């Protein structure tokens, strides 16, 4: 393949005198350089190809509301506050923050553990659900949208997750926790500024645990 066939030549075999035959030339072309180039290009494109196209996550933020009476209120029993701290640590508490003698609902976990916390809290809230008039409206809306589980549409109505990243949290942490909301289908969640008390508590916990 690699060598060009020069055709017959003068090896052995005597040709009859006087009769001139046209020299038989091979029609085959040497393909090696072409193939070389082909593979060079393949390698180049394999390396430059960006296969994974980026995806996006929608984020809707509320307008800053200063007036307290315009703010949305959440039922204390259905609230889960999640705080993000240094070193991929997650802190959370249910309902109101209670830290004092004998009572402490401020807990620490990681991104792996927070999923179970969210799932359990969601189950708990859904279990305590009491049907009332506003529920009918929510169910009706879901029914119109064509949701097959419209009867359950109201169950997690009171479940609210409040996300509070602190100064040391990374952007990845923020996206991860928002992703967790999507994964566990938390319908109501809000990202708010962390309160000073909580931040101090996190810093104290971080110091105790030696997280830098």
Partner 1 sequence: MTPFVDIAFLILSFFIMATKFKPQEPVEITTPGSVLTQNLPASNAVMVLVDSANRVFFTVLSEKDPTVYDQLIQSLNSSRGLNLSKEEMANYKKTYSVGVPFSGLKQLLNTPAEQQKNLNQPGIPVMDSANNELVWWISEAKKAFAGQALHFLIKGDAKSKYPTFEAVIDALKRNEEFKYNLVTSLEDLPKGSDLDKANKKAAAKK
| 212 Cα distance to chain centroid | 25
Q: By CB under 8 A, tell whether 42 contacts partner 1.
A: yes
Restricting to residues 115-174, name those near partner 1 by CB under 8 A.
Answer: 115, 119, 122, 148-149, 165-174
Residues facing residue 165 across a β-bridge: 84
Q: Among residues 8, 62, 95, 113, which is the contact residue for partner 1, using CB under 8 A?
A: 62
Q: What is the dihedral of CA 47, 53, 54, 58, to 10 degrees?
A: 180
Q: What are the φ and ψ backbone dihedral angles of 206, each rounded to 5 degrees? A: -65, -40
Q: By CB under 8 A, tell whether 41 contacts partner 1.
A: yes
Q: By CB under 8 A, tell whether 29 contacts partner 1.
A: no
Residue 94 and residue 179: Cα distance in Å, rounded? 20
Q: Among residues 29, 61, 103, 133, which is the contact residue for partner 1, using CB under 8 A?
A: 61
Q: What is the dihedral of CA 37, 40, 46, 48, to 10 degrees?
A: -100
Contacts with partner 1, 80-119, as mask; x by CB under 8 A: ----x------------------------------x---x
Residue 62 and residue 162: Cα distance in Å, rounded? 13
Residue with Cβ nearer partner 1 (79 or 84): 84
**Interface contacts to partner 1, rule CB under 8 A:** 1, 31, 34-35, 38-39, 41-42, 45-46, 48-64, 84, 115, 119, 122, 148-149, 165-176, 178-179, 182-185, 193
């Amino acid at each position: 393949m690699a060598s060009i066939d020069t055709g017959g030549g003068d090896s052995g075999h005597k040709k009859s005198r006087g009769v001139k035959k046209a020299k038989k030339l091979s029609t085959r072309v040497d393909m090696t350089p072409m193939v070389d180039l082909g593979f060079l290009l393949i390698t180049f494109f394999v390396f430059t190809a960006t296969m994974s196209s980026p995806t996006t996550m929608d984020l809707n933020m509320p307008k800053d509301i200063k007036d307290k009476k315009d703010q949305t209120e959440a039922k204390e029993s259905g609230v889960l506050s999640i705080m993000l701290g240094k070193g991929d640590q997650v802190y959370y508490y249910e309902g109101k923050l209670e830290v004092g003698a004998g009572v402490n609902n401020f807990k620490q976990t990681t991104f792996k553990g927070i999923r179970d916390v969210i799932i359990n809290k969601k189950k708990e809230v859904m279990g305590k659900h009491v049907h009332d008039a506003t529920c009918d409206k929510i169910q009706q809306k879901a029914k119109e949208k064509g949701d097959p589980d419209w009867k359950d549409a109201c169950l997690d109505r009171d479940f609210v997750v409040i996300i509070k990243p602190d100064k040391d949290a990374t952007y990845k942490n923020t996206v991860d926790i928002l992703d967790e909301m999507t994964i566990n289908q938390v319908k109501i969640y809000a990202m708010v500024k962390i309160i000073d008390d909580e931040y101090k508590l996190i810093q104290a916990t971080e110091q105790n645990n030696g997280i830098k």
